[in-house]
Amino acid sequence: MLKIENLNVKINDKQILKNFNIEIKNGEIHAIMGPNGTGKSTLSKVILSDKRYTVESGKIYFNKEDITNKKTNEIAKKGIFLANQLPCEIDGVTTADFLRTALNNDDNPISLYEFINKINKAQEDLKMKSDMIHRSINKGFSGGEKKKNEILQMKILEPKLIILDEIDSGLDVDSLKIVCENINDYLVEHKDASVLIITHYRRLLDYIKPNFVHVMVDGSIKCSGDYSLALEIEKEGYGKYTLNNDNNSSAVIVDEYE
């Protein structure tokens, strides 16, 4: 579904992503863990072609199509969804209006009746207050409410690839459980959908079990493994992955570090 090859990305002449590679197949859940400032959010934004970042070299393919530097709305329409680490506030546009417009721009728009039913159900599933979808997007929302609003958008837009950038930050324990249950239900209903989870904490991965866990340090993946790698990170931190940073072009399997 998603393939990133040798991606090098700069912002303001500072190189952030360094020969970054990953492949996510249909139905797979991948988790990326890594210290602050290592380029995780940059990666998520570059996939959606945030123009503040410059792709120096490398390619991003979605279902074999080269989407590097394509327009963000075209990429979103193909089925890639990003739940931002820091969702922005958009004054004057309600969540309901935004989502209705987004769906109407689709090739198969749904009726108003269908839309209302769908958004009401999504809101109830997420245990959100009923007025929230009629307020300006994220305006005055708490951190946790913003995160729930991202997942509401995911449920309505029905993407093929879901990128979750620290969806767990700002959520209380009950809300985290609700959000994860909604994501898991979505994955049961959309068997081919894939997920890229960016997180610091294993507890999110206890709810949404990843097939692969990657450790990202200094702009590239240093080590890949399964869920047990998340346990190891929690116990030991990122220390051993930050020691030898000169060769950051290739990932290694976890056994080489044992």
Positions touching ligand ADP (CB under 6 A) are 11-12, 14, 16, 34, 36-42, 52
Q: Which is nearer to ligand ADP, 12 or 130 (CB)?
A: 12
Residue closest to Mg ion (Cβ): 41
Give the nearest distance from C-beta 58 to ligand ADP in angstroms: 16
Could you tell which of Mg ion, ligand ADP, none binds residue 12, using a CB distance below 5 to 8 A set by kind?
A: ligand ADP
Could you tell which of Mg ion, ligand ADP, none binds residue 87, using a CB distance below 5 to 8 A set by kind?
A: none
Helix (H, G, I), strand (E, B) or coil at 54: strand
Question: Which residues, in sequence order, are bridge partners of residue 10?
Answer: 15, 54
Could you tell which of ligand ADP, Mg ion, none binds residue 237, using a CB distance below 5 to 8 A set by kind?
A: none
Beta strands 29-33 and 54-62 are unpaired
CB 213 within 8 A of CB 226: yes
Give the nearest distance from C-beta 32 to ligand ADP in angstroms: 9
> Where do runs of H (alpha helix) occur along the chain?
40-47, 72-78, 95-104, 112-125, 143-157, 173-189, 202-207, 227-236, 239-243
- For residue 107, give every residue at least 6 positions away whose Cβ sits within 8 Å of its Cβ, in sequence order, or none: none
Could you tell which of Mg ion, ligand ADP, none binds residue 36, using a CB distance below 5 to 8 A set by kind?
A: ligand ADP
Could you tell which of ligand ADP, Mg ion, none binds residue 16, using a CB distance below 5 to 8 A set by kind?
A: ligand ADP
- For residue 28, give every residue at least 6 positions away whose Cβ sits within 8 Å of its Cβ, in sequence order, or none: 1, 194, 195, 211, 212
Give the nearest distance from C-beta 108 to ligand ADP in angstroms: 35
Give the nearest distance from C-beta 11 to ligand ADP in angstroms: 5
CB 164 within 8 A of CB 137: no
Q: Which is nearer to Mg ion, 35 or 144 (CB)?
A: 35
* Residues near Mg ion (CB under 5 A): 40-41, 85
Both structure tokens of 43: 């990666």
Give the nearest distance from C-beta 96 to Mg ion in angstroms: 28
Could you tell which of ligand ADP, Mg ion, none binds residue 38, using a CB distance below 5 to 8 A set by kind?
A: ligand ADP
CA atoms within 13 A on the CB side of 164: 33
Q: Which is nearer to Mg ion, 27 or 143 (CB)?
A: 143
Give the nearest distance from C-beta 44 to ligand ADP in angstroms: 8
Q: Which is nearer to ligand ADP, 14 or 51 (CB)?
A: 14
Beta strands 161-165 and 220-225 are unpaired
CA atoms within 13 A on the CB side of 80: 26
